Amino acid sequence: MVDVSKLRETAREIISREDVRELIGYRAGTYGFRARPAFVYDPGEVDQLIFNPACVNNLATYITLEEKLPVPRGQEPDLRKVAVMVKGCDSRALVQQMAENAYERDRILVIGIPCTGVVDMDKVQARFPDVLGPGEISLEGDKFVLIFDGRREEIPKEELLADKCKRCRFPTPLVYDVLLDEEVAPFATDDYSDVEALESRSQDEKWAYWEEKFSRCIRCYSCRNVCPMCYCNDCILDRLRPQWIRRSVDISENTAFHIARAYHLAGRCIQCGECQRVCPVEIPLMELNRKLYKDVEELYDFEPGVKVDAPPLLSSYRPDDPEDFIL
Amino acid sequence: MAAKKLSKEKVGEVLQELSKFRLITPVKSDDVVLFREIADPKEAFLEYGNSTVPPKKVVFPQTETLFRFTIGNPELREKNVEEEGTTVIFGLRPCDARAMSIVDKLFSWDYEDPYYLKRRELTTLVGMTCVQPPSINCFCTSLQGSPFGKDGLDVLLVDMGDHFLFQPLTEKGARMEETLASYLEDASPGDVERASSMEEEAKGKIVRSIDPQGIAEKLPSLWEDPLWKRVSDACLGCGICTFLCPTCHCFDMQDEVERGEGRRARMWDSCMFCEYTLHASGHNPRPTRKERTRNRISHKYSYYPKRFDVIACVGCGRCISLCPVNIDILEILEQVVEA
Amino acid sequence: MKNPYIPYEAKILEAWYETPGDRCIKTFKVTFADDKVWETWSHRPGQCAMVGIPGVGESMFCISSSPTEKGYLRFSIMKVGKNTTAIHELEAGDTIYVRGPLGNWFPMDEWKGKNVVTIGGGIGQAPLRPVIQYIRDNRDDYGELTVIYGARTSADHCFKDEFQDMMACGDCCCHLAVDVEEENWPHFVGFVPQLLMEVSPSPENTIAVTCGPPIMIKFVLKNLEKLGFTPDQIYTTLENRMKCGIGKCGRCNVGHIYICKDGPVFSYEQIKDIPEAFA
């Protein structure tokens, strides 16, 4: 577990640096056991920073989310670094962003958090729906300990652990300038059994399954906006000329949207699972992304978000690329 | 109009009876509760907290046709909402019904919106009280609402445990009572009094609150306040808070053509989307999430009350519970009060 | 009541280019396909209409003709986006759709007996044109009419012939400007706010109306105040992205005001304290 006082001290040093503009970390949420992104601009603000298993957000998203406004005449662009706290899974987003030349390595200062797993907040909420909080979650051995309203509850780790953590192979960040704790050894493997279960279904079963899911989609685009790899300045979803995907919300356009998004993430999705976490109507988007992740791995022996200097899969050509699936 | 008793065993039969209309109830899609048209009373899922997507979508569909046309033919064929037929929304929560009564003001202000208003006219709202708050983030009681609220409803079903107290509230409600007469019994003596003490008890279970007094007047004075940057730093710019808000009503209009057959349609839009206010010239008067967040809060708590004398928020808590980054309208409002 | 979302079918009587370039401006003179529409149609200077093509979409434009010009409506449209590009493809004889009139108008009745100064820049002259035309067609009802107009170059001037006519006719004072020096330009060289100071109209019993790019409006407002105009003597029009045009769809608001319904015409007095009006 990351020591909070060490975290704050490190953050204080970093935000005090002249070449650092802001620091993105976590702070306590407004209700229940939530944690949420924190934006720190001043050393005086570091004492709000925390890290615990409720810190689910992938903060790498914010590196590419910021609107780039024209610099007013007579002013210099602010080129100072953005410091960002990342867990192992989140760090892969930074790696992939940089592999795609989204920005230069020296634009960011990475505070790595070796991670022992985060909770699935829906599972916590379902168990303790009436907790206004603030409640605290920590991991002690193989149990999550929840402290709230003067009570202490111990819950076996696997009952609250987020699904993505159950197959995490990269708990320690792959890129960092500062590491806040000892490296954590991979504690799980990924056997893709969920994807294989999906693959084994008949076409009709698959369609019935996804039709129900996609029919719920309200096209709030939270999956796109939260995704650290969805950072195109001009997303095809917003385009009117030409309009690739209509704004009307129906099963046909919704399907087109999700399929298009999954394909745009092929060889790029780093499995942080944020899209599925934020979906208000619980569309299991990671099933699509993981299917493509598995295909990419099998077809090209490629894993995104692991090496900064690896050329992005689908924008590079190799003479020995397999092509037998092309009609 | 006297209150009646509807025993819970008869709800299935009541839904069967109502299925002669377009009947819409909460249903479960996997683990998500949504309002959908049902054909079989068994599909109804009434043991729910509140739906993820509010029932506003019944009277204000996420996508709807305004008129159709054929390329090359100048005739425009107006969509006839009447064809959708008499509709009953059964089992919605008081906050969502109250939201409709708030949005009614917008759609009937000055120009009447024929699509929305026709659908409202065709729709009877049968609400169900919240004995338990559906969410920790409920705060309806701060905004003149109540877990037993009647605003906007035609019938209120007060959950008395083993039965409902059936309270018709409007002419449509009285017609509903006639339709369902054979399933209703006389209310037990004391039920009405018991319902009002239950209402107080239910109100007491709501733990979050805000005092909206003075916020409408204060908001414009905080235009340049640093709080807007602070509260929107984490915003992802997605449409969850607006699409899932029962009072948000903004829409886009788009033409769609396929093989010569076209329609002009409208679909929900969100003031949190970057292209919402983007001019064709490329200029955007709300260029960042800061301006968009400020507009969302100001619209609900200042602009709307200024025009329509009512805050465009019913305290359902969806925008808080479903925000991916825990942006919390109550916290923002507290900061407004303190600023 | 008529469904406010259904536009009227109209025919283009004439169409011509006002200005060249990527963002060229084309004027369309249109009349309703069904003559009966004219029996119920009445618009006033400053009002707008949605103009569009089913299958493409519609956008809000000011009606650039005065109600005193009978039998047709004029729209002067700059080619900037999806809808305007499609509209620019149309020529005389083609069908176009018009929904309106929408929004409020310049209080021409209140202004009777007063002097009027219009200060326009670029395509911003389009909403001022009906004001000028209305006054010229009801000349005795108003005092002096001063027209101040500028654009980047003389080729970028809209309504060129009409300015020549005004200068020749003598029923108003017309002052033209180009931003930068060009050959054979006999008039003012410089920006519109500078020309305004040059002309220096008296605020006495005078209304000033200004439309143009936001940066021009900003300096025109400053200069009008310097000249002694009070906010209630100054009028302008606002614009924003619009969809419904009837105060429902939400997006055109500045503060609590819906530009489509409460505007586009505002006195400076009404909007000076709404920061978003100048965003």
Residue C135 and residue C211 in one domain: yes
pLDDT at B279: 87
**Do the domain assignments include residue C26?**
yes
Average pLDDT over residues A248-262: 95
Task: Please report the residues numbered 245 through 284 in chain B whose beta carbons come closer than 8 angstroms to any beta carbon of chain C.
Answer: 249-255, 257, 262, 264, 266, 269, 271, 276-281, 283
User: Looking at residue C228, what DSSP letter applies?
Assistant: T
Residue B331 structural domain: 215-338
B277/C251 Cβ within 8 A: yes
Residue C200 and residue C132 in one domain: yes
Question: Which neighbouring-strand residues pair with C15?
Answer: C28
Domain count across chain C: 2
In this prediction, the answer to ipTM > 0.85 reads yes
Q: Where are the beta strands (DSSP E) in A73-231?
A: 81-86, 108-112, 136-140, 143-148, 151-156, 178-179
pLDDT, tens only, B82-95: 999 999 999 999 99
A241 interfaces chain C, CB cutoff of 8 Å: yes
pLDDT at C150: 95
In this prediction, residue B75 has a pLDDT band, given cuts at 50, 70 and 90, of: very high
C82 interfaces chain A, CB cutoff of 8 Å: yes
Residue C213 and residue C134 in one domain: yes
Residue B122 and residue B87 in one domain: yes
Closest CA to A242 of B127, C151, B257: B257
**Do the domain assignments include residue B310?**
yes
C254/B264 Cβ within 8 A: no
C144/chain B closest Cα distance in angstroms: 35
B111/C249 Cβ within 8 A: no
A249/B234 Cβ within 8 A: no
Domain count across chain B: 2
Average pLDDT over residues B70-85: 94
In this prediction, residue B2 has a pLDDT band, given cuts at 50, 70 and 90, of: confident
**Do the domain assignments include residue C211?**
yes
Residue B265 and residue B158 in one domain: no
Closest CA to A58 of A104, A115, A1, A98: A115
Residue C142 and residue C193 in one domain: yes
pLDDT at A327: 62
Residue C97 and residue C143 in one domain: no
* CA B321 to chain CA mean position, Å: 16
C57/chain A closest Cα distance in angstroms: 11
pLDDT at A241: 76
Query: Could you give the CA distance from residue B56 to residue B245 in angstroms, rounded to a whole number?
Result: 9
Domain C-terminal end among C78, C102, C126 = C102
Closest CB to A212: pick one of B29, B233, B325: B29
B270/A39 Cβ within 8 A: no
Question: Which amino acid, residue C140?
Answer: D
Query: Could you give the CA distance from residue B179 to residue B30 in angstroms, rounded to a whole number?
Result: 32
- For residue C82, the chain A residue with the least C-alpha distance is A241
**Do the domain assignments include residue B209?**
no
Subunit partners of chain C (3 or more CB pairs within 8 A): A, B
> Longest C-alpha distance within chain C, in Å?
56
Residue B146 and residue B31 in one domain: yes
Subunit partners of chain A (3 or more CB pairs within 8 A): B, C
Residue C4 C-beta-side C-alpha neighbours within 13 Å: 24
**Do the domain assignments include residue C268?**
no
Residue B169 and residue B228 in one domain: no
pLDDT, tens only, B153-184: 999 999 999 899 999 999 999 999 999 999 99
B82 interfaces chain C, CB cutoff of 8 Å: no
Closest CB to B239: pick one of A30, A220, A226: A220
Between vectors from CA A45 to CA A41 and to CA A48, what angle results, nearest 5°?
Answer: 125
Q: Where are the beta strands (DSSP E) in C122-260?
A: 145-151, 173-178, 188-189, 206-211, 234-237, 253-254, 257-258
- Residues on chain B touching A215 (C-beta within 8 angstroms): 29
Task: Give, in order, the Cα–Cα distances in Å from A274 to each of A124, A230, A279, B65, B82.
Answer: 17, 12, 9, 34, 42
Residue C136 and residue C227 in one domain: yes
Task: Please report the residues numbered 146 through 205 in chain B whose beta carbons come closer than 8 angstroms to any beta carbon of chain A.
Answer: none
- Residues on chain A touching B135 (C-beta within 8 angstroms): 129
Provide the 3-class DSSP secondary structure of residue A154.
strand
pLDDT, tens only, A238-247: 887 788 889 9
Closest CA to B274 of B291, B256, B298: B291
First to last CA, chain B: 48
Residue C228 structural domain: 115-237
Q: Which two tokens stand for residue A282?
A: 């619980």
Task: Give, in order, the Cα–Cα distances in Å from C247 to each of B232, B265, C256.
Answer: 27, 17, 11
Domain C-terminal end among C102, C136, C168 = C102
> Where residue C133 sits, what CATH number does that domain have?
3.40.50.80
**Do the domain assignments include residue B312?**
yes
Residue C139 burial (10 A CB sphere; 0-12, 13-18, 19+): exposed
Residue B92 and residue B151 in one domain: yes
Question: Which amino acid, residue A54?
Answer: A
B326 interfaces chain A, CB cutoff of 8 Å: yes
Residue C98 and residue C178 in one domain: no
Residue B191 and residue B267 in one domain: no
Residue C123 and residue C30 in one domain: no
Residue C136 and residue C216 in one domain: yes
Is the peptide bond prior to C214 cis by the omega test (within 30 degrees of 0)?
Answer: no
Residue B196 and residue B233 in one domain: no
Residue C211 and residue C155 in one domain: yes
Residue C154 and residue C175 in one domain: yes
- Residues on chain C touching A240 (C-beta within 8 angstroms): 81-82
Residue B97 and residue B28 in one domain: yes
pLDDT at C40: 93
pLDDT, tens only, A91-138: 999 999 999 999 999 999 999 999 999 999 999 999 999 999 889 999
pLDDT, tens only, C30-45: 999 999 999 999 999 9
Residue B109 and residue B24 in one domain: yes
pLDDT, tens only, A34-72: 999 999 999 999 999 999 999 999 999 999 998 888 888
User: Looking at residue C186, what DSSP letter applies?
Assistant: -
**Do the domain assignments include residue C16?**
yes
- Residues on chain B touching C240 (C-beta within 8 angstroms): 277, 279, 285
In this prediction, residue B280 has a pLDDT band, given cuts at 50, 70 and 90, of: confident
Choose the mutation target among A69, A240, A247, A248 for the interface with C, i.e. most C CBs under 10 Å: A240
pLDDT at A165: 94
- For residue B287, the chain C residue with the least C-alpha distance is C279
pLDDT above 70 for A251: yes
Residue B199 and residue B277 in one domain: no
Residue B119 and residue B152 in one domain: yes
pLDDT at A91: 97
Residue C62 and residue C168 in one domain: no
Domain C-terminal end among B156, B171, B204 = B204
Subunit partners of chain B (3 or more CB pairs within 8 A): A, C
B63/A218 Cβ within 8 A: no
**Do the domain assignments include residue C2?**
no
Closest CB to A225: pick one of B34, B238, B252: B238
- Residues on chain A touching B31 (C-beta within 8 angstroms): 282
DSSP string, B244-303: T-SS---EEEEEEEETTEEEEEEEE--TTSTTSS--TTS--SS-SHHHHHHHHHHIIIII
Domain C-terminal end among B173, B204, B235 = B204
In this prediction, residue B27 has a pLDDT band, given cuts at 50, 70 and 90, of: very high
| Element holding C30 (H helix, E strand) | strand C25-32
Average pLDDT over residues B227-247: 97
- Residues on chain C touching A241 (C-beta within 8 angstroms): 81-82
Structure pTM? 0.94
> Where residue C14 sits, what CATH number does that domain have?
2.40.30.10
- For residue B292, the chain C residue with the least C-alpha distance is C251
User: What mean pLDDT value characterizes chain A?
Assistant: 93
Average pLDDT of each block of 10 consecutive residues along chain C (279 residues)?
91 96 96 95 96 96 96 96 95 96 96 96 95 94 95 94 88 92 92 95 96 92 96 93 93 91 94 84
Domain C-terminal end among B152, B183, B204 = B204
- For residue C214, the chain B residue with the least C-alpha distance is B283
**Do the domain assignments include residue C37?**
yes
**Do the domain assignments include residue C147?**
yes
- Residues on chain B touching C250 (C-beta within 8 angstroms): 249-251, 269, 271, 299
Provide the 3-class DSSP secondary structure of residue A218.
coil
Choose the mutation target among C1, C80, C216, C243 for the interface with B, i.e. most B CBs under 10 Å: C243
Contact A178, A10 (CB under 8 A): yes
- Residues on chain B touching C255 (C-beta within 8 angstroms): 220, 298, 303
pLDDT at A306: 94
Residue B19 and residue B89 in one domain: yes
**Do the domain assignments include residue B326?**
yes
